[in-house]
Amino acid sequence: MLAEAAAKTTLARALAAAKKEAAGAAARGGGAVAVQAALRASRGGHTRFGNSEVTQASELERTELTLTISLGKRRASATTNQLDGAGIDDVAARAARMARLSPESPEAMPPLGAQRYLAAVRGAGGAAGPVDAATAKAGAALRAAATKLALDKARAAGVRIAGYYEHEHYSLSLASSAGLWAHHEATSARYSCSARTPDGTGASWAGGASHRVSELDAERYAETAVAKALAAQKPRRLDPGKYTVILEPAAAAALTRFVIDSLDARSADEGRSFYSKPGGTRVGEKLFPETITVRSDPGDFAAGGAPFDAEGVPQRAATWIDKGVLTQLPYDRFWAQKHGKPVSGLPDGWSIGGGTASRDELIKGVSRGLLISRFFYNGLVDPQLLRVSGLTRDGVFLIERGAIVGPVNNFRYNHSAAELLRRCDGLGPSEVVTVDGGSRLRAPLLRSHDFELTSISEAI
């Protein structure tokens, strides 16, 4: 992490070096010179444990400076993690050399100039800000304590446990020869653990993510994981088929992520998206029930919201799917210019709006169905239909006549993420979960119907 003043000094030095190199390259046959720079810096640590044993513990520091030099329509980017004078000079020279040698890019956009970012989310500080002091100061002792809780609870219950705790304090700073200056600092943390019964018939997972370590309840996660592994033990065999399902937030996020990731104006316009229709896009169409609303919010720090994207495009809270209607699609800078649309950049801080139903209420409304904890290895099989294939894991429970009756085997599913939302008839509270080991998303407990489970998975 670099404080704003230090980042400014480094980026001023980098811009100066880049301009000098770019001017030299331009003199040897380039076009108008433009330069932009991005500086990422982070400090953090992680602890891993598996088979009830600590396996990794680390403290890390990372930096990355990216310089993009444009010579007319020729453009190249170069990165380094060496921020001393020689490192900056080297990356500037590399970027200029590559820009000069690059063929022209028809879609090259000039660097952004000065921007206005939402004051409420710009910069660091404050209890309500994106930087949480306890998370910034977190270290090995905090992680070891959380790990000990998990190991002790697993030992007491006679199960084995695995888990992962990571925290980070990071910054992203942007500057350009056109006058752009953007600086954002934030903290992030995530923790999860998985328990397994000694007979190998019960497995579970529990965890969460936030920008505050205080929101990660290590004790509750460990208790949930242990209890759920025991509850999932000795599953009965159930045939595949179409079922009413209640997806816990981690499972709902894993599938609805495909609905969010496909939100892109260009691919829809080009006819290669779920949001395409013959001759156009589906903007304005009611795709899902009124309960489904998809938003991005730069102020939702727990879900990874930030005031600007990696290019410096300002972010505003936006609704993309409003009460089931596709209201708009995000435009990158090139596509927005080409079509005379406002630039959205790459929004973050995504959420699928939750509801007020409790878990018990959702279960009570099911005559026969399944409660699914988590999905695994979810792969897009058909991008136009948003058909995804993957597997359940860490606890599938049969519901009969409004009550959980016991654990059942895992399944492979082949189902459209869009159909999941189209058939949704109940939503519980949302929570922040990490998807595919990376980005964060706020997703709800979600009930849907006719979910296609296509084969049994014997995995536990």
Partner 1 sequence: MHLSRRSFVKAGVAGAAWIAASHPSISLARGLLTAPALDEIVQRTLAAAKRAGASYAEVRVVRRRGESVFTREGGVEGVGSSDEYGLGVRVIAGGAWGFAAAPRVLAAEGERVARQACEVAKAHAALRERPVALAPTAVNVDVWQTPLTKDPFKIPLEDKAELLLAIGREAQKVPGVAFVTASYEGHLEWKLFASSEGAYVEQQLVRVAPGYTVTAVDQKKGGFASRRHDFAPRQGGWELVTGSTLLADARRVGEEAVEKLAAPPVSPGKRDVVLDPSNLWLTIHESIGHSTELDRALGYEANFAGTSFATPDQLRKLRLGGPHLTFYADKTTPGALATCGYDDEGVATTRWNLVERGLFVGYQTTREQAAWIGEPQSRGTSYADGYASVPFQRMPNVSLAPGERPLSLDDLVAATDDGVLIVGNGSWSIDHQRKNFQFGGQLFWEIKKGKKTRMLKDVAYQSNTVAFWNACDLIGGEASWRLGGAMHDGKGEPVQLNPMSHGTPPVRVRQVQVLSTGRGA
422 binds partner 1 (CB under 8 A): no
- Is 46 a binder of partner 1 (CB under 8 A)? yes
Contacting partner 1 within 331-350 (CB under 8 A): none
What is the per-residue DSSP string for 235-291?
PBP---EEEEEEE-HHHHHHHHHHHHHT--HHHHHTT-STTEETTEE-TT-B-S-TT
Considering only 14-22, 58-66, 335-343, 344-352, which stretch makes contact with partner 1 by CB under 8 A? 58-66
**Residue 54 in contact with partner 1, rule: CB under 8 A:** yes
Contact flag: residue 460 with partner 1 (CB under 8 A):
yes
Tell me how many residues contact partner 1 (CB under 8 A): 93
Question: Which range in 172-180, 254-262, 269-277, 423-431 contacts partner 1 by CB under 8 A?
Answer: 269-277
Instruction: Say which amino acid occupies 364.
Output: K
Contact pattern from residue 163 through residue 182 relative to partner 1, giving x for each residue in contact according to CB under 8 A and a dash for the rest = xx-x----------------
CB of 212 to partner 1, least distance (A): 19
Please choose, out of 144-152, 180-188, 311-319, 400-408, the segment that lies near partner 1 by the rule CB under 8 A. Answer: 144-152
- Name the token pair of 22: 């770019």
Q: Using the rule CB under 8 A, is 11 a contact of partner 1?
A: no
On the 0-12 / 13-18 / 19+ scale of CB atoms within 10 A, 38 is buried
Of the candidates 144, 287, 318, 346, which one interacts with partner 1 according to CB under 8 A?
Answer: 144
Distance CA 68, CA 35 (A): 6
Q: Does 438 bind partner 1 (CB under 8 A)?
A: yes
Stretch that binds partner 1, among 22-30, 46-54, 289-297, 340-348 (CB under 8 A): 46-54
13 binds partner 1 (CB under 8 A): no
Nearest-angstrom CA–CA distance, 395 and 375 = 10
CB of 406 to partner 1, least distance (A): 21
Return the biggest CA–CA distance within the chain.
78
CB of 204 to partner 1, least distance (A): 10
Please report how close the Cβ of residue 318 comes to partner 1 at its closest, in angstroms: 26
Q: Is 109 in the site for partner 1 (CB under 8 A)?
A: no
Q: How far apart are CA 135 and CA 17, in angstroms?
A: 35
Under 8 Å between Cβ of 427 and 446 = yes
Q: Where in 66-95 is the site for partner 1 (CB under 8 A)?
A: 75-83, 90-91, 94-95
Residue for token pair 């709006």: 353
Q: How far apart are the first and last CA of the chain?
A: 40
Query: What are the percentages of helix, strand and coil residues in the chain, rounded to 5?
Result: 25, 40, 35
Q: Which residue of 92, 136, 203, 417 would you call a contact of partner 1, by CB under 8 A?
A: 203
- Characterize the bridge pairing of strands 368-382 and 241-247: parallel
Residues 6 or more apart whose CB falls under 8 angstroms from that of 309 comprise 315, 345, 346, 347, 348
Phi, psi of 82, rounded to the nearest 5 degrees: -100, 110
Q: Using the rule CB under 8 A, which residue among 3, 32, 60, 120 binds partner 1?
A: 60
62 binds partner 1 (CB under 8 A): yes
Segment 270 to 289, residues that bind partner 1, using CB under 8 A: 270-272, 276-279
Residue from 3, 107, 220, 285 in contact with partner 1 (CB under 8 A): 107
Q: Is 222 left (phi over 0), alpha (psi -120 to 50) or beta?
A: alpha
CB of 413 to partner 1, least distance (A): 10
Q: How far is the CB of 347 from partner 1 (least distance, A)?
A: 21
